[in-house]
Amino acid sequence: MKNIFYFLSFMLVFGLVSCDDFLDVNADPNRVTEVSLSAQLPPVIEGTSRVHVSLEKSVGQITQHLGSYFGYPDEISLGGSWSTIYLRNLSNAQQILNNAREQNSPHYAGVAGVLLAFNLGLATDTWEDVPYSQAFNGSENLKPSYDAQQSVYAEIVALLNDAITDLGATESFLSPSSSDDLAYGGDLAKWTKLAYALKARYQLHLINKNGVGTILTDVNSAFSDSGDDFEIMYNEVNLNPWHTDIALANNTGNLSQSFGSYFIDHINGVLIDAVDPRLPIITDNDGSTLAIGIKSFDENAPSNNVDFEEENWYSTANAPVPMVTYAEVKFIEAEAALGTDQARAYDAYLEGITAHMSKLGVDPVAAQAYIDDPDVGVGAANLTLADIMEQKYIALFLNPEAWVDMRRIGYANFTGFEIPDPTIFNGPAQRAEYPADELNRNGAAVAASQKPYDQQMWRDQ
C-alpha cells in the first residue's frame, strides 16, 4: 500500500492551495478548494478499512470472535464508527461521485459508488434506519431525516448497479491507477467483481424476504479467486491496526481484547471434531493441550491461554484487513444453492474452506486432511445450513458481517453459541444504539428511529 495516503488525507481535509491562491487577497481563506479525484480516493478507501476494524472491535464481542479482558459490553453505540462513516467515508465518496460526473470520469464514479454502497451497508447493518437521501445537503439541512432500512437496501442495490455500468464505460476522462487505488491498483475488473460480490451479499441479507433472487447469478460475476479480495495491504510504516491496537498493546501490558472462546472452540477441536491447521497460524497456545479463548461474560470460565501475537496471520505489521473475500462469496453461494442444488452448494462450501485456508497459507496436505474429516466433509446429501455457517464464521473472523449472519438466521442456530446474561440486551443484541452525539445533533430523527436492543431489524423480521 502506498504510504502517501496519510498525506493525501491531510490534503483532502485542508484543500490544495496554489501559490496564486495564496496571494489572492480576495479569496476566502476558509474555503476548501477543489481536490483532484486522485487525491480524494485514497483516504476514502483507507477510511473504509479503518471503520471496518472499528466496528469489529465492538460487534466482534457480540459474535464472540473477540473477548475483552474487562468483561462483556453493556452498550453498543459506536460513535467513532458513525463519525467515520458519515463525516469521512460517505460524504467524501459522494463528493468523488459528484466530481466524477462533472468531469466525465465514470470510472471514478463507479469506484465511488461501490464505496458508497459498502459504507452505507455498514451503517444500516449496524443501526438499521440511517440518514442517506438527505445526508449530503450540508448547511441546507443540518438535521436530515432517517431513511427506513428497506429503502436503504434499495439504494445500495441501485448504487451497485450504477457502479457496474460506470466501471464498464469505454471512455473515462480520468481513471483510478496504482497511485491512488489502494485496494485494486486501478484494476476496474476487480472493482466490478466487488460490486457483484456486494450485490450477492446484500441480497443474502434479505433472503428471508425476497428468496434467492439473483444471488447465484451475481456470484457468477463476482470473485473468481482470493486475488480478487477487497482488502488493504499494510506495511512496516503504515501498520495493520490489529497489530498496533491489539497485539502490540497486549504485549506491552495494555490489555484490551483477545480471541473469543467461541471462535477458538471452532478451531481447537471442541465444536468441530477435526484438527484445524489454521489454529497455529491464527494464534499460538504455547504448547497447551487445549487452546482457550476469553469468555468475557463468564467470570468463572477458565483463563485464556491464547492472544493476538505480533507474528500471527491477522495481526502482523503488514497483514491485510479483508473486508469482502472469495471465501465469503463461496459460502454465500453455498447457502443460496442449499436445498435446490445440493451438489453446487457442497462444492461451494468446500471451496470456501479451501480458499480461506489457502489465503492463510495452510499446507495443502493439511488442508485436505481437514476437509476429508467426516465432521467437515459431510457429503452433499448431508450438508446443512449449520455446517455452512460454522465454516463461514471461521472465514469471517474479524469481519462484522458475521454479526449480520447471527441476527439473520438466529443466534440459537449457531452450534454451541452461548447467549450471555439476557438482562444486558434483553437477549442477544440485534442493533446498536445511535451515538450520543447524534442524539444531541438530530434528536427528533433519532427518537423516531431508535428501537430496543432486542428488537429485530426490518431486514431480519
**In 3D, which of 291, 281, 361 has the Cα closest to residue 314?**
281
Residue 67, SS3?
strand
Averaged pLDDT, 383-389: 98
CA 189, 190, 194, 200 torsion: positive or negative?
positive
The β-bridge relationship of strands 257-259 and 66-68 is antiparallel
pLDDT at 26 over 90: no
pLDDT at 344 over 70: yes
Beta bridge partners of 277: none
Of the pLDDT bands very low, low, confident and very high (cuts 50, 70, 90), residue 34 is low
Separation CA 157–CA 256 (nearest Å): 37
pLDDT at 150 over 60: yes
Output the DSSP codes for 273-284: -S--TTHHHH--
Average pLDDT, the chain: 91
Q: Angle at which helices 5-14 and 37-62 pack, to 10 degrees?
A: 110
| pLDDT tens by residue, 270-324 | 999 999 999 999 998 777 889 999 999 999 999 999 999 999 999 999 999 999 9
Measured from the Cβ of residue 181, the count of other Cβ atoms closer than 10 Å reads: 22
With left for phi above 0 and alpha for psi between -120 and 50, is residue 104 left, alpha or beta? left
pLDDT at 31 over 70: no
pLDDT at 2 over 70: no
Averaged pLDDT, 234-250: 92
| pLDDT tens by residue, 83-115 | 999 999 999 999 999 999 999 999 999 999 999
pLDDT at 59 over 60: yes
pLDDT of residue 142: 79
| pLDDT tens by residue, 206-232 | 999 999 999 999 999 999 999 999 999
